[in-house]
Chains A and B, each alone.
Chain A
Amino acid sequence: MNARLLPYLLILPVTLFLCVFFLYPFLLVSKQAFTQGAGFTLENFRDVASHWKFPISLKNTLLLAAVVVPVQLALALLMATMVNRMEKGRDLVLYVWTIPLGISDLAAGIIWLAIFEQSGFLNSMMTGLGLAEQPMNFLSYQSPLMVFTAIALAEIWRATAIMLVILVAGIGLIPKEYYEAAEVFGASPWQRFLRVTLPLLRPSLQTALILRVVLAFEVFAVVAALGGTLFPVLMGEIYSYQFDLQNSNGAAALALVVLGISIAFTLVILRVLRVPKGATI
């Protein structure tokens, strides 16, 4: 066997798989997005962009990502640093913290719905403790901030662990000697975190942030469970184009818009967190 051809041969199956089940459907969706009846057109994009719900769902999606991702990043960094310091029980703590990852996003949404709805845990606890006289409807159109908070909380609870596992692995790769050198040369624990951990964690931060940001733009089931139509997001709009309005060209166009946003953010993250040549561990 020719040793130069072997690698290509070995990646052939997965390449074929991706072509058939990813690239081909993607091309079909793109075609749908850019056609109406016959011929090439941008009409679909004009349609979806001029719909009254487009600006609000775009704003909601971006706002949710802007709130959730930084909180998750900070939490994941804190949790990863804590886990890394542990000598015993490290694996157990990691398993417990990553349990939400095993739950589907719709189930996660329903769990938080069970907490926030009018007959939910939060209300029965508050009335039980005498903090409220009667159950309140948190998730109504009258309290958009509360709806947003509930969705953000559910998202943070559900998806912080995916960043955590990436960052734990990344922190584990940083040699201890760097921390000792920083300590000897006068860096406080906070300075060590800022000047050693964060810069050396850039590759893991890139991966974790890209993954998390892309997933944040795809938020759907949690929002559907907690906010319903009160909090429109882009993915929900794609769903309603496809199934409620029976407009698959519009759905395809909107899907490409989300893809475009995801790619743009990915490029920004890659650029901001790039590691100069020769500066890797």
Chain B
Amino acid sequence: MAVIEIKNVAKTFGAYTALHDINLTIADQEFMVLLGASGCGKTTLLRIIAGLETASTGEVWIGGRRVDHLAPKDRGIAMVFQNYAVFPHLTVFENIGFGLRMQKLPNDEVRRRVERTAGLMQIDQLLKRYSGELSGGQRQRVAVARALAMEPDVILMDEPLSNLDALLRMEMRAELKGVLAESNTTAIYVTHDQVEAMSMADRISVMHKGEIVQAATPLEVYRNPAAEFVAGFIGNPPMNFLPATSQGGGKWAVAGELFDGPDRSAPLKFAIRPEDLRPAEQGLTATAKVIEPLGAHLLVTCEIDGEIFRAILDSDMTVRPGDRITLAPQPDRIRWFDPETTLSAV
């Protein structure tokens, strides 16, 4: 049982504030992804949880125990590093067994656990090799096996797949998700790759400039972004935004069209995902600029009132640059953001 609670954690490096007052609770056996662009503080937060970095203020609790004053080894965690950190001078066997040897477990117990985790990660044929004789993907497996062999309450992963090529990454993504689900550990996974985040997470914490902007299920983050940043960060291509002016009574004018929205008078931003647009008789009139056939779909980048606007359309459609097309947004997928606070206005 390991619930992780992060209470009011902040971190400053001199005058630079890397983390502002972070509060986050991660449930037992949950797979939490910290997602954000580089420099958003996600790795710093992970390192604070691991104990490799000390928070300037705040508390970290793991399994009902306050751990922020404890050494990493006393926190019940294991970690997978971005560059794997598989010791080059030890064989795969000794690498996986490193933490167990440090705990002074008896030899047969070390052997049993190393062999079990190596089997789980399908590297049982490589136990006598050195890391120099392994491929990147195999090294990655050793790093994961080493963490699993500890049978930790919490596994921390810092961009573990970012050094693999695209195909291997996809394969490892699914495998890692399966292995972790079976191991009954709480997992925190740092990545800048939204596809990894969407496909693996139970919940995603989207981070921006040292703050958690939204912590929710992948679908919730995708469908109902809590802020403009999330809407623009998640989804490829991201959400479209257009300025909207209130016509009173919950009616909003967007690029000359009327839509139903929240009943308020201050200006709002209208937002819609590119795939939630359909060509129609009536809707937003756009001028097509760039057409990118993607096989299954057609990505059309157009312009509405000088704003870039993207639509994912059926690949059977014929559109040429310069064509005027009318796009109808799916009404239940329209979102509204307050330009003042950049937060969702529902």
- Does A278 make an interface contact (CB < 8 A)? yes
- State how many angstroms separate the Cβ of B150 from the closest Cβ of chain A: 7
Highest count of chain B CB atoms <10 Å: which of A178, A184, A200 = A184
* Closest Cβ neighbor of B149 among chain A residues: A185
- State how many angstroms separate the Cβ of A197 from the closest Cβ of chain B: 11
Are A184's CB and B50's CB within 8 A?
Answer: yes
> Hey, which chain B residues are within 8 Å of A186, CB to CB?
73, 99, 102-103
What class of interface size applies to chain A in its complex with B? 20 to 34
Q: Which of A222-277 contact B (CB under 8 A)?
A: 275-277
> Hey, which chain B residues are within 8 Å of A280, CB to CB?
88, 132
- Does A180 make an interface contact (CB < 8 A)? yes
> Hey, which chain A residues are within 8 Å of B77, CB to CB?
184
Question: Which of the 9-residue segments B78-86, B212-220, B314-322 touches chain A?
Answer: B78-86
- Does A191 make an interface contact (CB < 8 A)? yes
Are B102's CB and A181's CB within 8 A?
Answer: no
Are A178's CB and B85's CB within 8 A?
Answer: yes
CB 8 Å contact bits of A22-57 with B (1 = contact, 0 = none): 000000000000000000000000000000000000
Highest count of chain B CB atoms <10 Å: which of A185, A186, A280 = A185
A259 to B73, CA, bound (A): 50
- Does B129 make an interface contact (CB < 8 A)? yes
What class of interface size applies to chain B in its complex with A? 20 to 34
Given A181-B81, A182-B98, A200:B88 Cβ within 8 A:
yes
- Does A279 make an interface contact (CB < 8 A)? yes
CB 8 Å contact bits of B137-169 with A (1 = contact, 0 = none): 000000000100010000000000000000000
A178 to B146, CA, bound (A): 13
CB 8 Å contact bits of A187-221 with B (1 = contact, 0 = none): 10001000010011010000000000000000000
Given A185-B146, A185-B150, A175:B130 Cβ within 8 A:
no
Of A185, A187, A278, the contact of B132 (CB 8 Å cutoff): A278
Are B102's CB and A191's CB within 8 A?
Answer: yes
A196 to B88, CA, bound (A): 9
Of B51, B83, B98, B133, the contact of A177 (CB 8 Å cutoff): B83
- State how many angstroms separate the Cβ of A178 from the closest Cβ of chain B: 6
- State how many angstroms separate the Cβ of A184 from the closest Cβ of chain B: 5
> Hey, which chain B residues are within 8 Å of A86, CB to CB?
none
> Hey, which chain B residues are within 8 Å of A183, CB to CB?
52, 71-73
* Closest Cβ neighbor of A202 among chain B residues: B89
A102 to B112, CA, bound (A): 56
Of B79, B89, B103, B132, the contact of A181 (CB 8 Å cutoff): B79
> Hey, which chain A residues are within 8 Å of B73, CB to CB?
183-187
A186 to B52, CA, bound (A): 12
- Does B131 make an interface contact (CB < 8 A)? yes
- Does A281 make an interface contact (CB < 8 A)? yes
Are A185's CB and B130's CB within 8 A?
Answer: no
> Hey, which chain B residues are within 8 Å of A279, CB to CB?
88-90, 130-132
- Does B233 make an interface contact (CB < 8 A)? no
A175 to B83, CA, bound (A): 10
Are B130's CB and A278's CB within 8 A?
Answer: yes
> Hey, which chain B residues are within 8 Å of A278, CB to CB?
129-133
Highest count of chain B CB atoms <10 Å: which of A178, A181, A276, A277 = A181
A: residues with CB less than 8 A from B are: 175, 177-178, 180-187, 191, 196, 199-200, 202, 275-281
- With A180-B52, A184-B51, A278-B129 already in contact, 9 other A-B pairs whose C-beta atoms are closer than 8 Å: A177-B83, A181-B85, A182-B98, A183-B52, A184-B52, A187-B98, A191-B102, A275-B89, A277-B133
Q: Which 6 residue pairs spanning A and B have beta carbons closest together?
A: A278-B132, A186-B102, A185-B99, A181-B85, A278-B130, A186-B73
